[in-house]
Amino acid sequence: MSADPTTPSKHRELGLTDSEFELIISKLGREPNDVELAMFSLLWSEHCAYKHSRKLLRRLPTEGPRVVMGPGENAGAVDVGGGYAVAFKVESHNHPSAVEPFQGAATGVGGILRDVFALGARPIAILDSLRFGELESERSRYLFDQVVAGIGHYGNSIGVPTVGGEVYFEPPYEQNCLVNAMCIGLARTEAMIRSAAAGVGNKVVLMGASTGRDGIGGASVLASAELDEADLSKRPSVQIGDPFEESKLVECCLELLDADLLVSLQDLGAAGLTSSAAEMAAGGGVGIDIDVGEVPLRESDMEPFEIMVSESQERMLAVVEPAKVEEVLAICRKWQAAPAVVGEVTDSGLFRVLHGSEVTGEMPVEALVDGCPLYDLEPAEPEGWIYGNERTLEDDDATDVLLALLRSPSIASKRWAFEQYDSIVGSRTVRRPETADAAVLQLAETHKAIAASIDGNGRRVACDPYRGTIEAVLECAQNLACVGAEPLGLTNCLNFGNPEKPAVAWQLDRAVQGLADACEALGVPVVGGNVSLYNETDRGPIYPTPVVGLVGELPDPRKSGGLALSDGDAISLVGPLAPSLAGSELAKLRGELEPGLPELDVEAHVKALDLVRAQARTGDLAIHDISDGGLACALAEMAIAGGVGARCDLDVLIRARGSNPEEALFGEGAGGYLVAGSEERVREVQVAAKAAGVDAWMIGSAGGERIEISSDWAEPSVTVADAAAAWRSLSERFGAPAPA
């Protein structure tokens, strides 16, 4: 007999449904006690179990010749030659950041760093993808300011450069900001380690910070339910980070791995000891005992269930052979990592929670980790645009429109934010933010370089979840192509609203299919990622926001191109750009957003990617992809970067694509590149494009002090200084002086 849904109960308070609670009873053969119920509630939460998305994720391609580690590990990894691999992953810390933005963002960075060094990779770079409401909102300005401060605090303190990212400002993120952090690490392939526990009788060692009550009911609970006005009271549930503690933990873990002292290693993130120990046991097909009486505590009166679900930061769990335990403990003490032997690997198939000789919880590992029911979505396409529109731009003059777009916070320079991040610590950074379309890092160990980019446009995905997601993958690949890098692997963070609602379920289903099809077409494997659902309040869901991170390889970092124009450059438009105002920033400013995006010829995009990548590797071209704000904004950004004007004629684009003048200037859509260099060199690009079957047109040249674009009757003309002032207005708004 099912429980009365109106009756208060512990399992409902912990986020479990009645049917899930009954399933737990059937798996245990009895009702769970308080410790067991807390552990089940966290591991069966959306954040840990992916119960509404796991079936969809099976569509994604995960195999590739360079894949070293794929989905299922703490992070993915790809081979970069010379005996080295690059590990990388992106994860969300959305709900904690909406409740406590500084610590939410800081601990999001700390968590993704641990995912990477848990594989034995030294973190070498951070990127972030952020979403907030419009800056007219005091709340959005506060969240933006504090999230940026939190990211800078943790990354700068631990000594890992933040080399790239993106920030968008849209009304649907007003109550539910998005904070996605990506980390890249470098490892010797032979020294990498997996998380699966193995070896009956091996010891379980906890190292790092002491365990406290901070984070109890944190990420795993907050990320599995919609936020409401009462969520400000959940601030104590947000974890508190200490980057200096983590810096010691990084060095400790890497030394242990270099000495070949560990069987397996796992970070403690959401659900703390519960998830880390259970996942390690499940991965190895073994049982595990954890004695909470041996766990170093910050607060001595903690209950067993609190110890098991605490999300205190800067902690790692390792499996160690008994003969090596003393050596492991000695190295941990050297790094002040407070080690403790807290358990043992068993052959029971059970997760037992002990308190000395007392058994306080006993559950089948399989039931905890893989026993959660997986749900089929019930998608239904909404009948129309569900997010609302507000017209904020009345002027139709092309010059005024260009300046308005450059001032738009989603397009404007984010210098105020990224100058709070150290982008060059570690001495690997070749291309800093705003100097190229992707970050470039030299790998002296392999005599090559990698490039990385993180991208997504929730507004365009809201217009068409399938095509918008394909565009996000293409945009990320374009950024890599502009610096000459070939993608090796992809990670993603799928940020959506409540999947139990048909419209959101439809968005999620179509976006995952778009991600799968785009990766298949580009031949890029998905090596890992994250799903963040229930990003929704009583005001409605966020835009569906699949964020894509790509890591690529290029042969010579010295020849990675930038985007700055030089006086006398010839300028060419290359690629299958078919500009449209659908879903564009201009459509947003005019209050004209509606469902639908133009069709995509992905095969044509692949040809253009190959062409641009090859041309970029010569190092004598400035290349910039056309994205937010269209061709006019892309040209203005190149002119601002070079401090030189440009004159271009877009009539050839209008004739070739059937575009109207405004579409040619401000229309968006994947596939377009501006390529600039000496006239002789750009003519060579034209010849190569024709041979490859890629569209390319000479459209103008660089010089003077004005940006002038002819597009039939629409002819914006503005000085470089005025364009730069508009583009840098966000920094001025936040109190940072614009650079000269």
Catalytic residue ranges: 47, 93
Burial of residue 101 (CB within 10 Å: 0-12, 13-18, 19+) is buried
Element (H, E) at 129: strand 122-132
Quick one: residue 243, left, alpha or beta (phi over 0 = left, psi -120 to 50 = alpha)? alpha
| CB contact set of 172 (below 8 Å; sequence gap of 6+) | 133, 387, 458, 462, 540, 541, 542, 543
- Distances in whole angstroms, Cα of residue 171 to Cα of each of 65, 408, 539, 617: 42, 13, 10, 40
- Distances in whole angstroms, Cα of residue 252 to Cα of each of 65, 212, 317, 328, 426: 32, 21, 12, 9, 19
Edge to edge, what strands does the sheet with 429-431 contain?
429-431, 439-443, 448-455, 545-554, 486-495, 526-532
Q: 28-58 as b/e, with b when 16 or more CB fall inside 10 Å?
A: beeebeebbbbbbbbbbbbbbbbbbbeebbe
What three-state secondary structure class fits 674?
strand
SS3 of 517-564: the string is HHHHHHCCCEEEEEEECCCEECCEECCCEEEEEEEEEECCHHHCCCCC
Other CB atoms within 10 A of residue 175 CB? 24
- The residue whose two tokens read 């950041």 is 97
- The residue whose two tokens read 């010379």 is 82
Structure tokens at 505: 């379920």
Structure tokens at 353: 């929670």
Question: With contact defined as beta carbons under 8 Å apart, do 43 and 275 qualify?
Answer: yes
Structure tokens at 131: 């979403």
Structure tokens at 206: 């906890």
Structure tokens at 198: 């193995």
Q: 131-170 as b/e, with b when 16 or more CB fall inside 10 Å?
A: bbbbeebeebbebbbbbbbbbbbbbbbbebbbbbbbbbbb
Among 300, 294, 291, residue whose Cα is nearest residue 358 = 291
Distance, CA of 630 to CA of 632 (rounded, Å): 6
